[in-house]
Amino acid sequence: MSSPASHPLRDGRTTTSPLVRALRGDRPETTPIWFMRQAGRSLPEYRELRVGTAMLDACLNPELASEITLQPVRRHGVDAAVFFSDIVIPLRLAGVPVEIVPGRGPVLEAPIRSASDILRLRPIDPDALDPIREGVARTVAELGSTPLIGFAGAPFTLASYLVEGGPSKDQLRARSLMVSDPQAWAQLLNWCADVSGAFLRAQVDAGASAVQLFDSWVGSLSRRDYQRRVAPHSKRTLSALRGLDVPIIHFGVGSGEVLDLMAGIGADAVGVDWRLPLDEASRRLDDRVVLQGNIDPAWLGAPWEKLEAHVLDVLERGKAAPAHVVNLGHGVPPETDPDVLTRIVRLVHEVGSVAPEP
């Protein structure tokens, strides 16, 4: 935090917010809730604003990024904003040609597949992060006591896009590089850790009150490979935040076999996908780690009574953990009816509270 006096975690604006309290292991009066991908295509006001602007250009326009970040907070009354950006923005800022193809995801002009490709990767020029700092600062100025979550992609998930050149099923090419050339792999993951770390740091310096590290595709790794060839690099990403005392959430899809290791890199909370009930996730963590999750996105289109029962079940199981931040098990699907999300927020705020200690 470059100017500690004016940071929301320092001047008290967000310190006692339900999100920050829960991430620090406390059980606030209302259980906090936000949604991964709450900003985006489920909102008509987002689709309207995005007309004529490419995804990554929108992320690098501070005014637009800030407005898009605020939209779901106004509409749903969620307990946090999440900065509108993308995990591949640090790649673009480091000069790697990358685009987001609608309906497909990040696509690279020239995938990184050899030791010599890796040697050509350059660090981010610190000035290139200015649009991120400006977008965050504008957003935080509007948010008041609602915390902004900054985020970045973890090295494995980023490297899987770099090596594959686009979305892939099992990250097979990336995992092949990992086993066939461990040295090149380590160099690539260190580079990813450094650009993601710089991206995270810029967001926290500019006013983010929490961060989430997304290792979305961690579920394709064996526990042993995760532990030896991935986790140390994720830890390196977080070293960019050393000394800042900002709460850290670590999320992955299909992470049930490595939850303890994901918590172990220095996360305050672990995000769980829909596959593992939260009481079981908590058991695997000796009931010692704050959990985030894990409403199944598949239930969002179900009749309200069924969805309501599912949300109540998630809340009940979340009681096993020291604290609980409600979220989906993965991002909001674009076809989601936004009114359903608002209704979930109301429900969680009504029933997700625990009576304060007398």
Place of tokens 């685009």: 99
End-to-end CA distance of the chain: 36
> Is residue 37 marked as binding?
yes
Beta strands in 10-142 (DSSP E): 81-82, 98-101, 105-108
Q: Which residue in 79, 86, 205, 273 is the catalytic one?
A: 86
Q: Which residue in 41, 75, 284, 343 is the catalytic one?
A: 41
Q: Does residue 161 carry a catalytic annotation? A: yes
Tokens coding 110: 């020239």
Among 41, 75, 173, 319, binds ligand CP3 (CB under 6 A): 41
Q: Does residue 37 carry a catalytic annotation? A: yes
Q: Does 328 bind ligand CP3 (CB under 6 A)?
A: no
Q: Does 38 bind ligand CP3 (CB under 6 A)?
A: yes
Residue 294 CA, chain-centre distance (Å), reads 14
Give every CB contact of residue 1 below 8 A, 6+ residues apart in sequence.
7, 9, 10, 204, 205, 244, 246
Among 67, 79, 86, 194, binds ligand CP3 (CB under 6 A): 86
Which of 89, 17, 90 lies closest to 58, judged by CA? 89
Among 19, 20, 23, 39, binds ligand CP3 (CB under 6 A): 39
> What distances in angstroms separate CA 307 from CA 62, 73, 209, 261, 341, one per listed residue?
36, 22, 30, 31, 11
Size of the site for ligand CP3 (CB under 6 A): 22
x-or-dash string of contact with ligand CP3, 176-215, rule CB under 6 A: --------------------------------------x-
**What are 220-227's contacts with CB under 8 Å, separation 24+?**
220/170, 220/171, 220/175, 220/254, 221/156, 221/175, 221/258, 223/257, 223/258, 223/261, 225/175, 225/178, 225/179, 226/156, 226/258, 226/261, 227/258, 227/261
Q: Which residue in 37, 75, 275, 343 is the catalytic one?
A: 37
Among 36, 93, 128, 193, binds ligand CP3 (CB under 6 A): 36
x-or-dash string of contact with ligand CP3, 295-314, rule CB under 6 A: --------------------
> Is residue 41 marked as binding?
yes
Q: Does 82 bind ligand CP3 (CB under 6 A)?
A: yes
Among 8, 18, 90, 106, binds ligand CP3 (CB under 6 A): 106
Q: Which amino acid is at 330?
A: H
Which parts of this chain interact with ligand CP3 (CB under 6 A)? 36-41, 55, 82, 84-87, 100, 102-106, 151, 214, 216, 331
Annotated binding site for substrate: 37-41, 86, 161, 216, 330
